[in-house]
Amino acid sequence: MKKVIIIGAGPAGHTAGIYAARANLKPLLYEGWMAGGVAPGGQLTTTGSVENFPGFPDGIGGSELMMMMRAQSINSGVEILTETIESVDLSKRPFIVRTADAEQQAEILIIATGAIAKRMRVPHEDDFWQKGISACAVCDGALPVFRNQPLIVIGGGDTAMEEAMHLSKFGSMVSIVHRRDELRASKAMQQRVLENPKIEVLWNTVLVDVKGDKALTHVILKDVKTGALRDHEAKGLFYAIGHNPNTEFLGGQIKTDGEGYIITQAGSTVTSVAGVFAAGDVQDKKFRQAITSAGSGCMAALEAEKYMIINPL
Ligand code: FAD
Ligand code: NDP
């Protein structure tokens, strides 16, 4: 039986691992194999340069940063298995985690399985992914390639509003493409967007394709009422159509919100199951940043250590 098992190998999982190992808890970390559709290392392995993670004044490649976190985990004493957890039994301590062909017991579980940004999967999307198309305006919006250029945000929720506001500081014009004639976002966020002279909303409109040469230059939009297609110049296209947290393998044994995000107590990583902690994007639909994920990974390990002292098995 392991003292601590960590599921997930993004910034949250590795930070939890480093702290747990340094507390002599000998953690076992499952990094998954293309779990949720991303490589071990998580969402940052799908991006080029990360320019807002402290300590790297010239930025650092997303995959490179995650390889460094992985190396630091191993150097700290974390045992890493490249396997995906398919199910868990949280009915009593020790908890059980199961891969396709094995199971393991743990006194404490830290869940750090992240979330995946939804993509529209229009025909030529893969050709321009990270060459103009992104699912994170806060991460990529300030890149020189988007400065004073026409930009598009897809979606009508709070994320789309926030991303449009953020991008309006950089682009020449930001067009929100929304499939209905009414926004889902909160009224306060809507108002800020609708009053911003650098943002327009293209109502009843959907994205059907993207075009470019080496990078994105245009999107093809469809008016859902008339069916008419048109070209629209865009050097940047930002998806803000929601995320899917990786929580299906939990089989409903931990309390989640309506969208499947694990509910943690305010200011902590404590979940509805005593002895199970959650860190990173799997429990955070507000900030969704590498640094906030790493911070909550640290919190999870510290809370796990304290819990084990008070509740020994
Ligand atoms: P993730 O990074 O999502 O990692 C979760 C890990 O868990 C993955 O390795 C996954 O495979 C694994 N996993 C899932 N299910 C299982 C399972 N059942 N068994 C085992 N393993 C499992 N943030 C920034 O701060 N700066 C940026 O520049 C930036 N750029 C981004 C660019 C893109 C394109 C995207 C999509 C995101 C970007 N972000 C950026 C956001 C950042 O990547 C996330 O906030 C952060 O990675 C979340 O970390 P995490 O540890 O919670 O989860
Ligand atoms: P939401 O699910 O709230 O909104 C997603 C938006 O994308 C909707 O407008 C939806 O359209 C649209 N959409 C979904 N799928 C497609 C598709 N295939 N094609 C075109 N459009 C699509 O997600 P958010 O990420 O915006 O927000 C998630 C949660 O996080 C919410 O509870 C939100 O309030 C919260 N949040 C809060 C913030 C804050 O308080 N500052 C900031 C960011 C998020 P439709 O409306 O037609 O369904």
Find out whether the beta carbon of 281 lies less than 6 Å from any atom of ligand 1. yes
290 vs 88: CA distance, rounded Å: 26
Instruction: State the average pLDDT over residues 268-296.
Output: 97
Token pair belonging to 58: 């010239």
Q: What is the pTM of this model?
A: 0.85
Domain annotation for the chain: domains and CATH numbers: 2-116+243-310 (3.50.50.60), 119-239 (3.50.50.60)
Which residue among 241, 259, 281 is best mutated to probe the pocket of ligand 2, counting the most ligand atoms within 8 A of its Cβ?
241
Q: Which atom of ligand 1 is nearest to the CA of 8?
A: 7
Instruction: State the average pLDDT over residues 279-287.
Output: 96
Residue 152 in this model has a pLDDT that exceeds 80: yes
- 209-247 pLDDT, tens digit per residue, is 999 999 999 999 999 999 999 999 999 999 999 999 999
Instruction: State the average pLDDT over residues 50-70.
Output: 95
6 vs 148: CA distance, rounded Å: 43
Which residue among 34, 43, 78, 247 is best mutated to probe the pocket of ligand 1, counting the most ligand atoms within 8 A of its Cβ?
43
**211, 200, 148: which is closest to 178 by C-alpha?**
200
- 100-119 pLDDT, tens digit per residue, is 999 999 999 999 999 998 99
Name the band, by pLDDT with cuts 50, 70 and 90, for residue 77: very high
Residue 36 in this model has a pLDDT that exceeds 90: no
Find out whether the beta carbon of 42 lies less than 6 Å from any atom of ligand 2. no
- 245-276 pLDDT, tens digit per residue, is 999 999 999 999 999 999 999 999 999 999 99
Q: Is 287 helix (H, G, I), strand (E, B) or coil?
A: coil
Q: Cite the beta strand spans of 144-298 per DSSP E.
A: 150-154, 173-177, 199-202, 205-212, 216-223, 229-233, 236-239, 243-245, 276-278
Atom 52 in ligand 1: residue holding the nearest Cα: 280
Token pair belonging to 285: 């639909």
Find out whether the beta carbon of 293 lies less than 6 Å from any atom of ligand 1. yes
Query: What pLDDT does 136 receive?
Result: 87
